[in-house]
Amino acid sequence: MVKPYTVRTMLSISVTHGLSAHHLGVYNIFLNGFLDMDRFMAQPSNFVDPQFPNHVSKLKHSFYGIREAPHTWFD
């Protein structure tokens, strides 16, 4: 959710400095919301702790991909 003012600012800075803008991606918009309910996540397959392979992580912040992400962003 990028505001039009931000896009215009980024484009004007790139034009002012003679830069070209090929792609403007904003991937961290869902990282700012706190979860109000307990959510748990299994360890990613590439990052399993060998000492505790069955442990899970309790999420404090929302992230892209979980169902509650848009709701926490708007809160």
Using one digit for the tens of pLDDT, what is the confidence trace for 43-72?
888 889 999 999 998 877 666 556 665 655
**CA dist., res. 9 & res. 25, Å (int):** 15
Q: pTM to 2 decimals?
A: 0.43
| 28, two tokens | 């961290």
| 2, two tokens | 């990028």
Question: Tens of pLDDT along 19-31?
Answer: 887 765 655 555 5
* pLDDT exceeds 80 at position 18: yes
